[in-house]
Chains A and B, each alone.
Chain A
């Protein structure tokens, strides 16, 4: 059974940093792209970043470029996102999600339970 478990969320001041982790099991982690998707309180879903199976390609939504870094450790079956220069508007539940590519795009077939990041002074 596929499991994704996020951790590392919490309260941080504006301008601060936080590193989220996602530990996965139940599938061959090194064979899949992975993503982070976030959801601000009471708001919709927003894709944040993607990373290729071997970490050689990484893509970000414009609002986090230069501040967030997605990474992975295939030996540890773990996905990460380092979040720097955090802003109030980064407050959200952050989900890690497994990516499945089709011939015409991608979708997220498995999701973690999410971890809450609150940016506030």
Chain B
């Protein structure tokens, strides 16, 4: 069972907006640790999508945005495109583990 909780799946039509939630606890997100998001296309390696809650690495379209509040975080994708179909993972840090924790992943289906 993953430490961070994500919905197993979300879906949306091309052009629509979807949001993926990530819920943690007082030992990770709630303790003030940043949340990061990764995109894993089918059969590919995970790729950093959002770092430090809301920052996009170079090359990531501004259709992707992130936010964090309290013990939760959210990834929003606007103007959905077919190539956005992938698994999305949130990640944070747990000081008691001195290590990282991931969400279970959310499969995005573009209808």
Name A residues whose Cβ lies closer than 8 Å to a Cβ of B: 35, 37, 44-47, 49-50, 59-62, 95, 100, 102, 104-114
Asked if B34 and A104 sit within 8 Å, CB to CB, the answer is yes
Asked if B97 and A104 sit within 8 Å, CB to CB, the answer is no
- In the bound assembly, the distance between CA atoms of A112 and B47 in angstroms comes to 10
- In the bound assembly, the distance between CA atoms of A9 and B52 in angstroms comes to 32
Please, which residues of chain A bring their CB within 8 A of the CB of B38? 45, 108
Please, which residues of chain B bring their CB within 8 A of the CB of A37? 46, 100
Please, which residues of chain B bring their CB within 8 A of the CB of A35? 100
Please, which residues of chain B bring their CB within 8 A of the CB of A108? 36, 38, 46, 48, 91, 100
- In the bound assembly, the distance between CA atoms of A59 and B99 in angstroms comes to 7
Asked if B99 and A107 sit within 8 Å, CB to CB, the answer is no
Please, which residues of chain A bring their CB within 8 A of the CB of B100? 35, 37, 47, 50, 105-106, 108
- In the bound assembly, the distance between CA atoms of A5 and B102 in angstroms comes to 23
Residue from B48, B92, B100, B101 having most chain A Cβ neighbours under 10 A: B100
Size category, B interface:
20 to 34
- In the bound assembly, the distance between CA atoms of A109 and B57 in angstroms comes to 9
B32 on interface, CB distance cutoff 8 Å: yes
Asked if A114 and B45 sit within 8 Å, CB to CB, the answer is yes
- For A101, give the chain B residue with the smallest CB separation: B93
Asked if B46 and A105 sit within 8 Å, CB to CB, the answer is no
Map CB proximity to A onto B48-66 as digits: 1 under 8 Å, 0 otherwise. Answer: 1001100001000000000
Q: How far is the CB of B37 from chain A (nearest CB, A)?
A: 9
Asked if B99 and A50 sit within 8 Å, CB to CB, the answer is yes
Asked if A59 and B98 sit within 8 Å, CB to CB, the answer is yes
Q: How far is the CB of A76 from chain B (nearest CB, A)?
A: 23
Please, which residues of chain B bring their CB within 8 A of the CB of A114? 45
Q: Given contacts A100-B51, A107-B91, are A45 and B98 in contact (CB under 8 A)?
A: no
